[in-house]
Each structure stands twice: as C-alpha cells, then as structure tokens.
Amino acid sequence: MNSTLVRPIRGMGFVPGVARGRLVRRPVSNGILLADHKSLRGMSGSPAGCVLVDAAPFSHASIALLGRGIPTVMIGAEEASRLHEGLEVALDGASGRVLPIGVPDTDLTPSPPAVPRELRTLDGEAVELRASVRSAATARLARERGLASIGLVRTEFLLPDAGAIPDRAFYAEAFEQMVRAADPLPVTFRLLDLAPDKHPSWASALPESGPLGLHGSRLYRDPAVWRVVESQLQALGSLTTRNSVGLLVPNVDSVEQFQYRRTSIDSVLPDSGIRVGAMLETAGAALAVDGLLATADLVGFGLNDLMQSLFGADRDLPAVRAQLDPYAPALYRFLRTTAELAGPGVKQLQLCGMLPQLPGVLPVLLGLGYRTFSVDVAHAPYLARTVAMRSAAQDSALAEAVCAAASGQAVADLLDVWREG
C-alpha cells in the first residue's frame, strides 16, 4: 500500500486553507482527518485539515468546521477509494484538491489579502461582504480582515457555563463584548434560533420536530423560549452603543407574522433605534420578499434552510444530500424570481448561508442581481478576489446560462466545478 498519493484528487472546496500531513481517522493536530458525516458530530480535537466523504455540505455539523477554520475538502466514495489511513497528502481547501505531499507551495492556492473597504466588480458595481459569526473573537477577526459589517451573530451559540439558562445579565455582557470587538462595524444579532439539532440543555423539554417544523421564531410562543428571547431584547436595549445595531427575527413566514413579532419586540424595546429585520428561510416566505422589504428594516435569506424547504430534503441527512444540489438550475430559477420580486431592494437583500461560498456560485448570484452577502470570515478574502475579477455584464450572461441549463451537471460544467455524481 502506497504511503504517498500519486495522482491528485478533485473534490469540492469547503473551507479554504492549506494543510499537509498523514490521513488519520481520529482528529489529531498534525493529521488530515479522513472522516464521514457521522464522525463530525461531537468531534473533539483540531486536525490540520479534513477530507470529508459523502458529507452533507449544508448540515449543521459540516458548517461547524467553518467556524473552526479547518481546511476542508469534500469528496465522494469513488474518490475516497484512492485514500487510506497513513497516506501522506497535501490539502488545498480553496481549490478542493487533495494532492501528493511533495507538491510545491506555488501549486497551492495562496491566501488573498484582506477584503478592500470599497469592494467593486471590474465595471464598478458595489458588493458588500459581511461576516457571520458566533463569537467576539471572530467578530474582531472580521474587522481586521476588512469585512463591511457583522451581518449575522448566531446568538444561539452564546451560552453560559454548566447548562444554565441565559439571562439578561449574561446576554448584556456577551453582546457588549461582540459590539466592542467589531467596533466600528455595524452588528446585526439574529435572535434565538433553536432547531431540532440546536436544543441547548436548558431547552431539552421542547417538543421534537422535523426539519420543517418548530424552529426559529415558530418556537417563540413557548414561554421558556420567549423568556430567553426577552432577555436578549432587554440586553440589546442596554447596549451603550445602539445606533449601529440591528436584529433579525429567524424563520419569518409572512408579513403578518413579522408584524406580530415586531409588536412584541417593540413592547420590550420601545424607541430603541435598533433596526428590526426578518430572516426568510422557506420558499413561501421568500416569495413574499417584496412585502417584507417594505415592512422590515432589513431582510435576509437563510439559504441553508431555504434550500431545504425548496427541495423538501433534510439538510442534516447525508442520504438526501444529492437532492440539495447547489448546482440545480431550478435553484437559480427560483432565486431569479425572488430577485425580480425584490426589485431595486435586491441589492440590500442579505444572502446568508453556505451557497454563496461554494465553488463557482458567487458569480451566478451576482449575475442575478444580489449584492450583499453574510459569509464566514475564512471565505471572505477569497470571495472578494472573485468579485474584483468579474464584471456585472459577464455575470449576468453566466446567470442566464445557468438558469437555462438542463441539469445540475450541466451547471457544474459551465462553472468548471466538481459535483458529486
């Protein structure tokens, strides 16, 4: 059995960065973890890199790797048949390649510079890259790397020690730290967004629900959940700097539901000056984007859950990962429709989630008219480099071709990216 890889393997770049080492089955600091989806849950340790086999790219377990900044490539079973424990490899997470260990550094994707404050396409179209974060340390990194703002703070990951129920005092300190770390960048906090696989210990008594059931603001009718949300709102109201702070209500279904939630929020935060926005995460909500842009101070698409709704497939279930195809023409036809409904507001509509960060996708979204993206800090410099190399006219033609394509593979061929067969 060979100890070094002979020929490169191409997969999907998932977390950018470079790593070298031996393939291992347990996460050790000097090894490249070769793992399947199950191995990600509860993963301890920090490997130098990851090669994920038959993983679900939109799952919460996979996305957690982004926050840890571990260079990662996703491959299928066919590619994995050439790999084994102990094999020495180099991993390029930006290009999605697993390479022989001796490949020179010049053949690997270099780290780009920080995001320019004024990010524009070749023909002058302004594009805004914001950061999605779950800690003050990442917010500080976003500021240092030039991102325009903190577009999404995932507040459900801000938890007190020992499984205690978070209260106003806890959130006041956590939110203040976040704002100070990001200063002078604006910060938008997503209110508590619990889901079937995001139930902290204090919420263990909540009813079990499928992926399209009780999560986000649909749970706010539960008294225990609303008490925590109320604590978050009170903490936001106590911030010493509020003029650059916003909040997003997760999983808003309609204009009527948003208005109902806003009334509840205003009762806790009267005349606060805090912008109140809506996160749209289902196909039905996205098709009401025109009404929500007219009603809310800010609007975002949660694309991970929106794709789950659109395709009727659980994003945390690897067995149906093929149905959540990021290169399916139907996905871009849908996003073309929502862009048309948004009208001029499409440029301020914030796209969140993995989709814009996957290989080849950002130019298509730019071609459809979207200009604002909240992304993980690790991806931002690479995405900025892509923006600066493209023109709006070029991307518009590309988006038209993608929407007209006959299959996901045809789209992947157009974009020259790897797609699991």
Domain ranges of the chain: 9-107, 128-415
The DSSP output letter for 288 is T
pLDDT confidence of residue 38: 82
- pLDDT tens digits, residue range 296-333? 999 999 999 999 999 999 888 888 898 999 999 999 99
pLDDT confidence of residue 371: 98
Give the helix/strand (H/E) hosting 21.
Answer: strand 18-24
Residue 13: strand, helix, or coil: strand
Query: Which of 115, 170, 138, 2 minimizes the C-alpha distance to 66?
Result: 138
Is a pLDDT exceeding 70 seen at residue 1? Answer: no
pLDDT confidence of residue 349: 98
Q: pLDDT averaged over the chain?
A: 93
The DSSP output letter for 207 is P
pLDDT confidence of residue 264: 96
> Is 406 in contact with 395 (CB distance < 8 Å)?
no
Is a pLDDT exceeding 90 seen at residue 73? Answer: yes
192-195: list long-range contacts, CB under 8 Å, 24+ apart: 192/155, 192/156, 192/225, 192/228, 192/229, 192/232, 192/250, 193/154, 193/155, 193/156, 193/250, 193/251, 193/279, 194/156, 194/219, 194/225, 195/60
Is a pLDDT exceeding 70 seen at residue 81? Answer: yes
pLDDT confidence of residue 203: 77
Provide mean pLDDT across the span 252-268.
96
- pLDDT tens digits, residue range 370-384? 999 999 999 999 999
pLDDT confidence of residue 61: 82
Q: Select the CATH number that applies to the domain covering 9-107 from these four: 3.50.30.10, 3.30.420.10, 3.20.20.70, 3.40.50.1970.
A: 3.50.30.10
pTM, entire model = 0.95
**Least confident among 55-64, 180-189, 198-207, 404-413:** 198-207
pLDDT confidence of residue 242: 62
Confidence of residue 2 (pLDDT cuts 50, 70, 90): low
Provide mean pLDDT across the span 198-208.
74
Q: List, in order, residues 6 or more apart from 202 with CB less than 8 Å away.
A: 163, 164, 165, 166, 224, 228
pLDDT confidence of residue 243: 62
- pLDDT tens digits, residue range 12-33? 999 999 999 999 998 888 899 9
pLDDT confidence of residue 404: 98
pLDDT more than 90, % of the chain? 80
Greater confidence (240 vs 98) lies with 98
User: What class has domain 128-415?
Assistant: alpha beta
Query: Which of 206, 218, 212, 273 minimizes the C-alpha distance to 246?
Result: 273
Is a pLDDT exceeding 90 seen at residue 209? Answer: no
Helices 168-182, 136-144: axis angle to 10 degrees equals 10
Query: Which of 298, 171, 158 minimizes the C-alpha distance to 227?
Result: 171
